Amino acid sequence: IAAIGNLSNWLAEEVIEANGRALAPGFIDVHTHDDTHVIRSPQMLPKITQGVTTVIVGNCGISASPVALKGEPPDPMNLLGERDA
């Protein structure tokens, strides 16, 4: 966002005619389990292609905080993915 308010005196470099179309800002995905996905694939193409520009991680009391596990991740930590070898 470059400016807010009365922009009637501003000139645009590009004008996009959007009559009859829906315009929405980027969507916020407030409940994801993308904690490790955002680390492994930070471009997050599956989300971007759906219009999601922000994801909230660390839900359900779990996150990708460094941890040393002796076995497979227990519920609900297994929602973050399989244990790395």
Half-sphere exposure of 37 (CA within 13 A, CB side): 15
pLDDT on residue 84: 64
Half-sphere exposure of 54 (CA within 13 A, CB side): 6
pLDDT on residue 9: 92
pLDDT on residue 70: 76
pLDDT on residue 19: 85
Compute the distance between CA of residue 85 and CA of residue 81 in angstroms, rounded to an integer.
Answer: 12
pTM, to two decimals:
0.53
Token pair 């660390």 in the structure block, residue:
58
The helix (H) or strand (E) run that includes residue 54 is: strand 52-55
pLDDT on residue 24: 78
User: What are the 10-residue block averages of pLDDT along the chain, 85 residues in total?
Assistant: 82 85 86 82 90 88 70 73 64
